[in-house]
Amino acid sequence: MHDRPPTLADVALRAGVSYATADRVVNGRGGVSDKTVRRVHAAVSALGYVRNVAAANLSQQRVYRFVAVLPEGSNAFFARMRDLFEVAAARMAADRVTLAVETVAAFDSDVLRARLDLLAGQGVDGIALVGSDDSSTVEVIATLRSKGIPVVTLVSDVPGSERAAYVGIDNVIAGGTVGRLMMLAHGGRSGRILPVVGALSARDHADRLQGLREVIGGDITLASVIEGRDRHDLVETHVAEALSADPSITAIYSAGAGNAGLIRVVEALPATTPRPIVILHELVAHSRRALEAGLIDIVIDQRPEEEVARVIDGLRQLADRREPVMTAVIVPTIYVRENLPPEHQHTNTGHPAR
């Protein structure tokens, strides 16, 4: 007699229940007493039964319904990420998966909570969202979990929440990497770094700033932090004012978006004014052009294609009541002018630089 994998019929026999009851327990459909659930789970464990998720979904005619909630606005990085999710959604439609992309106002935790509360009543199978460092976000994630809706955070985490997984880079390490690069670029000379963030309430931006502060030292100091709300017009105005008011600034670190405005300021500097060292995040159309033109020095890219793929895989695993197979945090790519990939190898949204 050849060994074979245990079947659901074997589980039912060992637990002393009907096949239908075993099926209800294994597929989490409810309507079974706690005592019976424990007996079936014990039989599953004893036999080493592995649920055939694909077969179960097919027999139930199940359609996955996922939602990605991203910030709206002129942020070119999130425009790029929206495009990636939409491409993935079109590809997965034939696999009985629907993936909707919804947008909410950036840096507005009340609007985010209202949207998540709405989704909680719509029977979705999983939600991906960009975290907000706000207690209301922690609370609504707990509410979603209580309703059986898993949440995956991406780009910016929500520490202390009941989110199922985080997909993205380690933002503290990213900021620390920028700090190390800034120290090297100054070559032991004194300097002053102008930090630009979207908002300090954005966890990823605050973490990057923390990482920067942990590394810089000696004769390198920080100027007052600019909060540009990821808006190119505000970033342009505030950076221009800061450079005019403080001629000791030797470097700029933009931990957020709105970088088209920053680039315009740098491009407009008088030829007699030394250009500050500039490091910013995300390889999008305007940051690529600025790097090629020598207007900025380094781009830290968090590889959104990889993030989107991991988020979708994680949501599917969670919807099937499996632990998501999440590897370590994503390691960002550091781009200088000399190692830029060919444009056709890197996703561009086609959105105008803003």
Same topology between domain 8-51 and domain 171-301 = no
pTM surpassing 0.75?
yes
Number of neighbouring beta carbons within 10 Å of residue 320: 18
Q: What local confidence, expressed as pLDDT, does residue 73 receive? A: 83
Report which of 353, 306, 300, 299 is spatially closest to residue 329, judged by C-alpha positions.
306
> Is 195 within 8 Å of 178 (Cβ atoms)?
no
- CA dist., res. 341 & res. 329, Å (int): 22
pLDDT at 20: 83
Instruction: Measure the CA–CA gap between 63 and 45, rounded to whole angstroms.
Output: 28
C-alpha distances in Å from residue 104, one per residue of 187, 242, 339 = 43, 30, 35
For the structural domain made of 64-168+304-323, what CATH number should be given?
A: 3.40.50.2300
pLDDT at 344: 62
Look at residue 32 in the predicted model and tell me its pLDDT.
86
Domain boundaries, the chain: 8-51, 64-168+304-323, 171-301
Q: Which pLDDT score is estimated for 96?
A: 76
Conformational region of residue 50, where left means phi above 0, alpha means psi within -120 to 50, and beta covers everything else: beta
Question: What is the C-alpha separation between 80 and 244, in angstroms, rounded?
Answer: 33
| Residue among 122, 268, 256, 272 nearest 178 (CA) | 256
Token representation of residue 159: 């520490």
Query: Under a CB-based contact definition with an 8 Å cutoff, are residues 307 and 169 in contact?
Result: no
The size of the chain, in residues, is 354
- Between CA 27 and CA 52 the distance in angstroms is 10
For the 171-301 domain, the top CATH level (class) is: alpha beta
Task: Kindly state the DSSP code that residue 152 receives in the 8-state scheme.
Answer: E
Q: Please give the structure tokens belonging to residue 332.
A: 């960002």
Residues lower than pLDDT 70 in the chain: 1-3, 29, 51-62, 325-327, 344-354
- From residue 344, alpha-carbon distances to 11, 294, 302, 306, 347 in Å are 52, 21, 18, 17, 7
Domain 8-51 has CATH 1.10.260.40: yes
Q: pLDDT tens across 254-270, in order?
A: 999 999 999 999 999 99
Structure tokens at 62: 């199940």
Helices (H) and strands (E) in the chain, counts: 13, 12
Joined together, the tokens standing for residue 303 give: 């590889």
The confidence score (pLDDT) of residue 347 equals 46
Degrees to nearest 5, angle at CA 168 with 257 and 171: 60
